[in-house]
Amino acid sequence: MTTGPQEAVYGGAGGGGPTDEPARPRPIQTGAGTPGRLHEVETGASLGLERGECAVCIPVYGDPQLLAQCLRSVLAHTPATVPILVADDCSPDEGVRSLLLDLDSDGGLNRTVYLMRQPTNLGFVENVNAAFAACAPGDVLILNSDCVVGEGWFDGLREAAYSDTGIATSSALTNHGTILSVPERNRPGALPQNWTVDEAAAAVREASKRIRPRLPTAIGHCVYVKRTALDLVGPFDHQLSPGYGEEVDFSQRCLARGMSHVAADDVFVAHEGGASFERRAEVAGIRALHENLIRSRYPYYERSTTAAADSDGALSRAIGIARRAVLGMTVTIDGSCLGGSITGTQIVVLETIQALARSGALHLRVAVPRRCGVEARRALAALEEVETIRWDEVDRDTVKSDVVHRPYQVTSQDDLVTLRHLGERLVITHLDMIAYRNPGYFRGFDEWRLYQIVTRDALGLADAVLFLSRHAAADVQSEDLVAADRMHVVGAGTDGRLSSMSWEARRPRGAGPLEGGGFLLCLGADYAHKNRVFGLQLLRELQRRHGWPGRLAMVGPQVPCGSSSRAEADFLLRHPELARAVVRLGAVTEGEKAWLYHHAAGVVYPTVYEGFGLIPFEAAAAGVPCFFAAQSALAEILPQQAATLHQWDPEVSSDEVFRVLGDADRREALVDAVRSAGERFRWDDVATRLLEVYRVVADAPPQLRVTPEIIDLSTTSIGRSLVGEGGALPPRIQAALWAISRRRYLRIPVFWGLRIVYRLGRLPIVLLRRSGR
């Protein structure tokens, strides 16, 4: 902040005594001998500003090259009616004066520019105080001489300062400015590569939401100071000469009198930092002395600044918006489900990743399981620009993306904690409500109830909740789980499933009886809602009513809870004549699935409930008719006339299926109808919609966050042994702890009590270790 070493200390604001009639600036003769636009201002003189007007003040001590860059940008991007005051703190040579004369003689000054040179070096504080006095009763915009500004900078700072009558100062974002540093707060650095100042300033200005977050102090590289603040608390304190801490002291005096300070978050100013005074060796001692003085006057200040920098509030939000404007958005996709076989959920995840990668509109990262599935690894390896991170290695030190997106349901508290470490904002795609309403899909009531609580909390914590269909959204809304303004129907794509891959068709092991074709394919995990028993009923009626000679291939993994396998076995036990026509296969690879589609006569998809439903579109892409009922989301995304299963009458359904199997035109018409419906669903369109949601979510205030207490409990070694999947505590106790953690007046005493009990329990062990036993 300071422009030069202090060689003399002046007690007044302007370095000279007041006069009855302030001196007026006088024009300086140019090299041609005629008055130009450069005017000399003596100490104690007035610029003649009116109240409400403003002058740009550039304090300087030597280094005319830096001043030249700064001044040219100010002349180019500041309204011509705004005067400029160069406050030279007795630079060691005439370089500053020569620069201004050259600019004037070359016609480079497009307005009145004032030069006020101190007769002796006063230091930054007294030099600026003299400028405050010269500009009275107008406002002053202080700009360091090692700054470069862009278009709209002056108007942005002035509008921020006058956005409220109680605002004392407004400060600009910069690459080098402590809590206002972009792209990262408190991490000053150079301007990002390939960006000019004008480009960065324009990008920040266009992206800004004009949040104007409140600050604990003005940041002095570029700060607009209103005259009302100067009138109320006076100028900088001369006890802080030659510099360091003066803007902090001034800011705290303003705060104490009821005024505030804001960031002009639509203004970006490039700041070199470390110029002039800051380079001198004696700075360290002066800085330490003044820091101690500030600490004694305002013991709360240091902690208030740390809190402002670390909080998840308006300042963080404004810096994030500016960072994305310059560096682009960062998104992490939760791919922790990619460890096993490829089912509908994994297809949605992989296609989402591929579509976002194709957009080229963001920096994409994927969190993968420790043992990623072969097919998932292959799909991700083809995306060179996508970064991967191990899900089990995520912790508090993991760099957060702007947004983390979980494209499927959250199933445990541990997942929520990990997601919190991965992104500043949380987006969840809720596929369906099947498990939420069905205790049979869990090992017991307590486990199901815990899942419900986790689901409710996850959807409440999410900044946005996405759905693949309107039906899925309405179903969640019926349970009052998500506010309508956080719900978005994004959909899924049906084109080119894993289109960047070329899966080699391969016959699955055990599929020998299907070699000749002519079979119906029932594909999917054996969850009860998939209704595979109806597939068996349909096969029986096809044989009994129509003498159909084909087989039924039941393909998919067996689930541990909520499986229909027992019901299927009971049905076959009652109808042993069907057993020879049923071929059971477990989970298959994408190549094996391609073989099955190629040889099947049709696909039976008797599902009762789906959030979207990809299988009819997969079948149509393979040229195979799919037999489904107009249920849940299928009634929304597929044409009614294409539904050949009648809920849930196997006789009527078998008649319709048999007509399609025996008529090539009917088969082709059914396939074409599904293909036409699929034209509305494109993964690239999904990516566009996702990007829109990500931007809205990233720019908006955050939702309620996971409490520190539950994070601590879930991330410590003892915590992990107690809560989450496989935790020692019963699910009902975990649910109770989770509920307590969300209630402010309960969580503090409960969790402190747990800490005390834990430490007391460890005390005997510690004493034994110290005794050497």
Q: Which of 97-106, 491-500, 649-658 has the highest mean pLDDT?
A: 649-658
87: left (phi over 0), alpha (psi -120 to 50) or beta: beta
Q: Is 97 helix (H, G, I), strand (E, B) or coil?
A: helix
Flag whether the pTM goes above 0.85: no
- pLDDT computed for residue 21 by the predictor: 56
The Cα 106–Cα 732 span in angstroms is 81
Measure the N-to-C terminal CA separation of the chain; round to a whole number of Å: 60
> What pairs with residue 603 in β-bridges?
521, 626
Q: How many domains does the chain have?
A: 4
The Cα 131–Cα 56 span in angstroms is 10
User: Residue 688 falls within a domain, yes or no?
Assistant: no
Identify the weakest region by mean pLDDT among 348-357, 464-473, 493-502: 493-502
The Cα 189–Cα 169 span in angstroms is 24
User: Residue 181 falls within a domain, yes or no?
Assistant: yes
pLDDT at 30 > cutoff 80: no
Which CATH number characterizes residue 31's domain?
3.90.550.10
The Cα 692–Cα 694 span in angstroms is 6
Examine the domain organization and report whether 167 and 77 are in the same domain. yes
Examine the domain organization and report whether 474 and 541 are in the same domain. no
pLDDT at 4 > cutoff 80: no
Question: Domain end: 301, 324, 347, which one?
Answer: 324
Instruction: Render pLDDT for 320-345 as a digit per residue (tens, 0 to 9).
Output: 999 999 999 999 999 999 997 778 88
User: Residue 374 falls within a domain, yes or no?
Assistant: yes
The Cα 322–Cα 358 span in angstroms is 24
Half-sphere exposure of 402 (CA within 13 A, CB side): 29
User: Which band of pLDDT confidence, cut at 50, 70 and 90, is reported for residue 311?
Assistant: low
**Measured at the alpha carbon of residue 202, what is the angle toward residues 198 and 205, in degrees to the nearest 5?**
140
Examine the domain organization and report whether 305 and 356 are in the same domain. no
* Average pLDDT along the chain: 87
The Cα 61–Cα 406 span in angstroms is 54
Examine the domain organization and report whether 157 and 209 are in the same domain. yes
Examine the domain organization and report whether 159 and 299 are in the same domain. yes
Residue with tokens 């039924």: 552
Q: Is 168 helix (H, G, I), strand (E, B) or coil?
A: strand
Give 257's contacts (C-beta < 8 A, 6+ positions apart): 232, 233
- pLDDT computed for residue 13 by the predictor: 33
Question: Domain end: 324, 357, 374, which one?
Answer: 324
User: Residue 372 falls within a domain, yes or no?
Assistant: yes
Residue with tokens 């995990």: 525
User: Residue 691 falls within a domain, yes or no?
Assistant: no
Examine the domain organization and report whether 312 and 209 are in the same domain. yes
For 608, the token pair is 């009762």
Q: What count of other Cβ atoms lies within 10 Å of the Cβ of residue 597?
A: 19
Examine the domain organization and report whether 484 and 519 are in the same domain. no
The Cα 17–Cα 748 span in angstroms is 60
Which CATH number characterizes residue 406's domain?
3.40.50.2000
Pairing state of beta strands 362-368 and 387-390? parallel
Examine the domain organization and report whether 60 and 132 are in the same domain. yes
Cβ 610 vs Cβ 636: under 8 Å: no
Task: Measure CA 438 to chain center.
Answer: 33
Examine the domain organization and report whether 657 and 733 are in the same domain. no
Question: Domain end: 324, 345, 371, which one?
Answer: 324
Examine the domain organization and report whether 528 and 450 are in the same domain. no
Span 643-668, mean pLDDT? 95
User: Could you tell me what percent of the chain has a pLDDT over 70?
Assistant: 84
User: Residue 352 falls within a domain, yes or no?
Assistant: yes
Instruction: Render pLDDT for 174-223 as a digit per residue (tens, 0 to 9).
Output: 999 999 999 888 788 887 778 899 999 999 999 999 999 999 999 999 99
Quick one: which H or E segment has residue 423? strand 423-429
Examine the domain organization and report whether 672 and 735 are in the same domain. no
Structural domain of 604: 512-678
The Cα 409–Cα 432 span in angstroms is 8
Pairing state of beta strands 362-368 and 519-523? unpaired
Instruction: Render pLDDT for 409-446 as a digit per residue (tens, 0 to 9).
Output: 999 988 999 999 999 999 999 999 999 999 999 999 99
User: Residue 690 falls within a domain, yes or no?
Assistant: no
User: Residue 21 falls within a domain, yes or no?
Assistant: no
- pLDDT computed for residue 281 by the predictor: 52
- pLDDT computed for residue 500 by the predictor: 45
Residue with tokens 């693949």: 468
Examine the domain organization and report whether 436 and 536 are in the same domain. no
